[in-house]
Copies of this chain bind each other. A is one copy, B any other.
């Protein structure tokens, strides 16, 4: 398992409710891909959303996001943490 940060752009005006619903949609199906989405953060002004996950691969992260209806624009493995 590897830690990943994925980035979504273009979500200006996203609300707390929308972020929560999107995160729940991911979590409902994440087990199918062996992914766990730990946390998500959003900035409604710039429209950027970051999601932190543990997953077997970036492709697995994207498959969950795709099926939930919100594909990521970038996915970065993060082997180093402090």
Contacts and interface: CB of A to CB of B under 8 A. Distances in A.
Interface of A: 3, 5, 14-16, 19-20, 23, 39-46, 48, 50, 76-82
Closest 3 CB pairs of A and B: A41-B78, A42-B80, A23-B82
Contact of A76 (B3, B39, B40, B43): B43
A51 to B, nearest CB: 10
Number of copies: 2
Contacts of A39: 81-82
Given A41-B81, A42-B81, 14 more contacts: A5-B41, A5-B50, A14-B80, A19-B80, A40-B81, A40-B82, A41-B78, A41-B80, A42-B80, A43-B80, A45-B77, A46-B76, A48-B76, A50-B50
Contacts of A81: 19, 39-42
